[in-house]
Amino acid sequence: MRIITIMITIGVLGLPMATTAHAEAGTSVASPDDCDGNGVMGRFRAVGSGASFDYRGRRVELQNESIFDRYSRAEIKSGRQSGDRVWVDRSHRRFPADRKGIIGRTEAEARGWKQCGPFTWRTQSVFNNYYAARACARIGGTSKCGKWYLD
């Protein structure tokens, strides 16, 4: 079964600013072009506080690059099985520089978002400087996302 959620964010002038079709993994509406950094090298660390999560025997991580601190990605770190998919969502609009940490779902999604993926075990990277990101996975036919995180 294919589920699609469409979100439209209206800007100050009343014009559509961002329209995001968020499809369940397996029917990708995204491509590596929807990611910001294909093949970003660096040292990535897992984000805690609910941004990374355990689901159906898998560890799904939102990871932030820690040297330059400009990119995030998602990875099924353990328990991966054939058919699993992972993607990372990133907000379209920036947050103020003084905001950090977990961001509420309503607040993050009100800014619109794009989807990088799905991929089989690790996504390409998205630019995270003042943008919220979250890791999502489709496992055993069910999708789950972690909390939105602002680095």
Q: How confident is the model at residue 30 (pLDDT cuts 50, 70, 90)?
A: low
pTM above 0.85, yes or no: no
Is pLDDT of 8 > 60? no
Helices (H), 30-89: none
What are the counts of helices (DSSP H) followed by strands (DSSP E) for the chain? Answer: 1, 13
Q: How confident is the model at residue 39 (pLDDT cuts 50, 70, 90)?
A: confident
Mean pLDDT of all residues belonging to the chain: 82
Q: What is the pLDDT at residue 33?
A: 73
**How many other CB atoms sit within 10 Å of the CB of residue 129?**
13
Q: What is the pLDDT at residue 12?
A: 28
Is pLDDT of 117 > 50? yes
Separation of alpha carbons 98 and 123, rounded Å = 28
pLDDT digits (tens, 9 = 90+) for 77-105: 999 999 999 999 999 999 999 999 999 99
Is pLDDT of 48 > 90? yes
Q: What is the pLDDT at residue 53?
A: 98
Give me the phi and psi of 140, to 5 degrees please: 60, 35
User: 3-state DSSP call for residue 28?
Assistant: coil
